[in-house]
Every structure is written in C-alpha cells, then in structure tokens.
C-alpha cells in the first residue's frame, strides 16, 4: 500500500485502484438541450492539428475538435482549472460508479435521522459544475433529510452565476419551494469566511460544508447523519473520489486519515493500525484532522468555536479545526461508506501562490494551540525561532476560547491522536547550511531519487532549509521526509537515508562555525572542487573547514 503526501487544498485522496468512465443515467428533460455528443468521441471528419500540445488539458485529453473548439476549451480550462468545455456537454444527472466497499451496500440506517443543510462554497465556478452538484444532492439525498442547499458566492465575477443560476434555482423551487438559498459576499472574504457565512445561514440539525465542484453519491448522507446522531461531538469527513480535471471521469480512492506536516499543509496518512487489523473497510476511522470538506452538528460547531474568524482567505483553518476539536472534547472520523466525487483542479484560477497566506495562518494556529511545539512551525517555514515578524492578528479571543473549553495541551494530541507526527524534540538548529569557503552555495538535498546531497546556489526553498540538528552528536536531515546525511564509510560522497535508530554513520559532532565531523568514522563533511570544476560535497579527512547553520535554538543547549 503506497501513500503520497500533497497539498490538501486540492483535496486529492490517495491510493487509487482503477478508473471508471462516466455514464449518463436518465437525462432530465429540462437539461436535454445541454447534452450533445461527447467531444471525447471521434468525429467523422479530417483530423485537426492540436493547437495546444503543451497544455495540461490536451496532454491528457485527446478529442477531435475544430481549431475554434480547441481555443474555446483551452480558454475555459485556463479560467477554471478543469474541462468546462466538456462539463457543459455532459448531462447534469449522470450515474457515478459504485466505489464503496461491498459491506457498505448492506448497511441500513434509521429513518429518523437528523436533517442536513448542505453548504456549497464557490468563487467564479463554472455554471454547469454548480448545477451538477445541486442535482446530485437533490437526487441522492432523501427529501425528508435534506433541509436546504445554501450557495455561498464569495463575490464571483462570472455573469452566469447571477441570472442563469437564479433561473435554475427558480425552476427547482417550482417543486421544492425554498430549498436552495444564496448568500453572496459583497467583497471577497476567502474560503474560511465563506464557510462561516454558510453555517450562519443554515437551519438544519447538521451542516455539510462542501466545495461546489463536487457530486455526491447514492447514500452519501445517511452514514454521516447516523454517526452524528450517535455522537454529536463528532466532526466527520466523507471519502473523496477524484473527478479528473481533463476528462471529467471518476477515479475512486480508498479511505485515508487526514493529517498535516509542521508547516500545517494537509496530507494524507495511515489510520491507526487497529483499524486495519479489523479488516473491514466500511468502518469509521479516527483521523488527526479534517480537510476542507466536513460534516458537523450545527450547534456543536458553534459550541466548539466554529472556524477561526481571524484566518485570512485560505489555508490552515481546517487543521486548526482538527486540532481544536480533539483538544477540546470532540473527535474526528473518516466515514468510508460516504462518498463524494471532487474535481481535481489542474490549477487554481485565483490565489496562485498560497505560501504567504498559509505561512501567516499556520503561525496563528501555532501561537494559540501548539504550546512549546510552535517552534516546529517556525522551522518548517524557515523563520527565526522567535520574533518571526509576521502579523498574525489578534489571537486573544481564541486563547480565551481555549481556556473556556478547558482544552488539553498539544502534547496530549501528539501522544494520543497523532503519534505519527514527529515532535522534533531533538531539533537544535535548522535552515541553510553554508561552508565558509563558498558562502553563495548551500547544502541541498538534490534529486530525491539519487539520495546524494549536493551544493547548490542558495535559494531559501524547502530542499535547503530543512536541515535540523540533533543533540549530542547531531545528524543532519535535509528533507521533510527526515532523511539523514550519512558517511557511507567509504568513498567521498555523502549519502541521504531515511532516518532511523538503526542507521549507522548518521551522527556528527558540530558546533556553530566549526567543522562537521562524523562521530563514527572521524571524517568530515567538507567541500572541494570536483571533476567538473565546481565545488562539491565530499566526505574526507578533516582539514578545518567551518560551517554555519542559519537558525540555532539556543535554549536547547546548542551553540
């Protein structure tokens, strides 16, 4: 079983096992005009040259389109980050593949479940995608459970999302009066605030806060509502299948825990071993955190502090929620029998670089919730151990919330909820590692596949700033995966290995501004001119070369 880590903002689950082509079921007559022959099918005409061979869209999607159609498809793709040209052609109601574990299909749920308000968040989303999301929710949620669908528009500029969307809502209201509500921000407030706006407008017993570029599966709501009926202090997540951005086909994924790294970027992780030992993939599983899509009892969400209103725009608010829920009396579960298909964007049409906002939000979370471990967030972002100089806003209200809820310390979370998150208790220093002979180059992890650290022009990015030092005889790690720099014992090149207690030759004696000497071999990490005429990292007899590391944690005994 292989897991991969990635930015949660694309909400991409992992461990795919097959791909299904989408198929239409019965076509709603009111939308029949939107259905035509799929552009994925070949047409009976002379092939047209691909005008955009380097486009991520046409690298993966190979329809026979005219030049005019290609230009339209590419323009829409660049605007939205997925294949709107194709989305506009396929039915609003389409059959999704059955991707749940077979044991989910035999489960029965009470008829008196809580009601649910479904909140769809969007900014400049494609109209056909929003309409398809609404159709799937209406058709696949029992009518007596679906209290309302709330559309939260974070000040879109797309004109289709005004008159045409309103007309679609009016049509729905002919048979389901008042089912769909709209909340529109007069100025763009960001994802966190949009979620709060939806929650404030909701009236159901339970709220499901979703993106608008989704489709729900049959019986998606019942497993979630049944768990919350059993324990209202749960925050839940369905399992996300992926709708490919290029062909709108569905790739199903298995369930995984929602975790994060010390930069507070979301990532997927293993569940606790106990869940796998039960050998039943239909069972709920505890998770350290939650992604941007989650389901919660509406009143409990308020009791636990909703979302941090001081978060800006995008990023980190879901990790903050996950930590807070666990520390303050709730818990988080992934529900494998609840499935939602989510479009995987090739790129985001707004907020292209999230690093600045994410860094600020992560530091805000650290200040309120992470206690003595907040220094690990500074290290992950390569900021000084103290006085990082970034304005994180007023956190006094959130600290009062923590005191009022009598929340546990973060160490309890590490010990009991997320032991897979390395506490970095042995972190003594971090940042760029520079030799005094050549101060414009830094130790860099190089290509991951080669496991050979290199010297590279200092660029302050992750491959150079993740170099923590460890106590007594420090080992040097140059990767978020905690790969340690080792002396292989022979030869001149250092080697990177995943850190483990059994790994030999990974410990180094070092003081700031002095040599880096291997504890076991007695050789030093140094630099020398290589065969290509450039400086290279070498392991050799010590000649007195001196090194400095960018940031030192002085109160942990390193100098």
The residues of the chain that CATH labels 2.80.10.50 are: 429-556
How large is the average pLDDT for residues 449-472?
A: 74
What integer best gives the mean pLDDT of the chain? 87
The residues of the chain that CATH labels 3.90.550.10 are: 1-35+90-100+115-425
- pLDDT-derived band of residue 473, with 50, 70 and 90 as boundaries? very low
**Angstrom distances, CA of residue 362 to CA of 214, 251, 367:** 27, 31, 9
- pLDDT-derived band of residue 330, with 50, 70 and 90 as boundaries? very high
Phi then psi for residue 85, to 5 deg, are -55, -45
Q: Tell me the HSE value of 550 on the side-chain side, using a 13 A CA sphere.
A: 23
Residue appearing with tokens 């996300």: 240
Nearest-angstrom CA–CA distance, 331 and 308: 18
- The per-residue pLDDT for range 211-253, each reduced to its tens digit, is 999 999 999 999 999 999 999 999 999 999 999 999 999 999 9
Say whether pLDDT at 554 is over 70: yes
pLDDT at 461: 78
Q: Which of 256, 265, 295, 322 is nearest to 113 (CA)?
A: 295
How large is the average pLDDT for residues 525-550?
A: 94
What angle separates helix 355-369 from helix 317-327, to the nearest 10 degrees? 20
Say whether pLDDT at 332 is over 50: yes
Phi then psi for residue 9, to 5 deg, are -70, -15
pTM: 0.87
415, 458 Cβ separation under 8 angstroms: no
Residue 76 tokens read as 């829409």
User: Helix (H, G, I), strand (E, B), or coil: what is residue 249?
Assistant: coil
According to the CATH classification, is domain 1-35+90-100+115-425 in 3.40.50.2300? no
According to the CATH classification, is domain 429-556 in 3.20.20.80? no
Side by side, the strands of the sheet bearing 483-486 are 476-477, 483-486, 495-498
Residue 42 tokens read as 């070949």
**Angstrom distances, CA of residue 258 to CA of 255, 280, 291, 292, 546:** 10, 19, 7, 10, 42
536 vs 460, residue with greater confidence: 536
Lowest mean pLDDT among 170-179, 300-309, 342-351: 342-351
- The per-residue pLDDT for range 126-160, each reduced to its tens digit, is 999 999 999 999 999 999 999 999 999 999 999 99
Say whether pLDDT at 19 is over 80: no
- The per-residue pLDDT for range 363-410, each reduced to its tens digit, is 999 999 999 999 999 998 999 998 999 999 999 999 999 999 999 999
- The per-residue pLDDT for range 108-117, each reduced to its tens digit, is 999 999 999 9
């Amino acid at each position: 079983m292989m897991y991969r880590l990635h930015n949660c903002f694309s909400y991409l689950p992992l461990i795919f096992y097959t791909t299904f082509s989408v198929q239409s079921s019965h076509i709603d007559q009111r939308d029949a005009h939107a259905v035509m022959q799929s552009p994925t099918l070949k047409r009976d005409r002379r092939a047209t040259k691909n005008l955009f061979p380097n486009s991520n869209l046409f690298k993966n999607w190979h329809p026979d389109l005219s030049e005019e159609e290609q230009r339209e498809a590419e323009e829409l793709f660049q605007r939205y980050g997925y294949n709107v040209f194709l989305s506009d052609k396929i039915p609003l109601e389409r059959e999704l593949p059955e991707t749940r574990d077979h044991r989910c299909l035999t489960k029965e749920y009470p008829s008196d479940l809580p009601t649910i308000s479904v909140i769809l968040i969007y900014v400049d989303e494609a109209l056909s995608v929003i309409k398809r999301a609404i159709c799937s929710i209406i058709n696949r949620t029992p009518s007596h459970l679906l209290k309302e669908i709330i559309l939260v528009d974070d000040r879109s500029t797309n004109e289709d999302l005004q008159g045409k969307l309103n007309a679609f809502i009016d049509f729905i209201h002919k048979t389901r009066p008042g089912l769909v509500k709209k909340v529109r921000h007069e100025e763009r407030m960001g994802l966190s605030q949009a979620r709060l706006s939806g929650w404030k407008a909701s009236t159901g017993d339970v709220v499901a806060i979703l993106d608008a570029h989704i489709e729900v599966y049959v019986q998606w709501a019942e497993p979630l509502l049944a768990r919350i009926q059993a324990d209202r202090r749960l925050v839940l997540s369905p399992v996300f299948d992926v709708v490919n951005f290029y062909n709108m086909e569905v790739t199903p994924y298995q369930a995984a825990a929602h975790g994060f790294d010390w930069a507070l970027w979301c990532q997927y992780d293993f569940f606790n071993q106990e869940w796998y030992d039960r050998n039943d993939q239909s069972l709920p599983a505890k998770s350290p955190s939650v992604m941007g899509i989650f389901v919660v009892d509406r009143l409990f969400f308020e009791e636990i502090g909703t979302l941090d209103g001081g978060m800006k725009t995008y990023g980190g608010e879901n990790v903050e929620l996950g930590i807070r829920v666990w520390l303050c009396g709730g818990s988080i579960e992934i529900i494998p029998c609840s499935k939602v298909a989510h479009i995987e964007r090739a790129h985001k049409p707004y907020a292209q670089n999230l690093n600045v906002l994410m860094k600020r939000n992560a530091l805000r979370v650290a200040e309120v919730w992470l206690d003595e471990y907040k220094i690990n967030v500074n290290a992950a972002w390569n900021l000084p151990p103290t006085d990082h100089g970034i304005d994180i806003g007023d956190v006094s209200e959130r600290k009062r919330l923590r005191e009022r809820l009598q929340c546990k310390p973060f160490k309890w979370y590490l010990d009991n909820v997320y032991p897979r998150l390395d506490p970095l208790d042995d972190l003594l220093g971090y940042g760029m590692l520079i030799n005094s002979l050549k101060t414009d180059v830094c130790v860099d992890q190089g290509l991951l596949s080669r496991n050979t650290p290199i010297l590279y022009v200092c660029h302050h990015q992750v491959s150079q700033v993740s170099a923590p030092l460890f106590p007594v005889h420090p080992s040097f790690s140059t990767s978020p995966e905690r790969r340690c720099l080792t002396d292989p014992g022979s030869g001149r090149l250092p080697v990177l290995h995943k850190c483990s207690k059994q790994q030999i030759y990974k410990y180094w004696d070092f003081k700031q501004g002095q040599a880096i000497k291997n504890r076991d071999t007695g050789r030093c990490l140094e630099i020398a001119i290589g065969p290509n005429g450039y400086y290279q990292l070498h392991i050799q007899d010590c000649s007195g070369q001196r090194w400095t590391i960018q940031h030192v944690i002085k109160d942990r005994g390193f100098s």
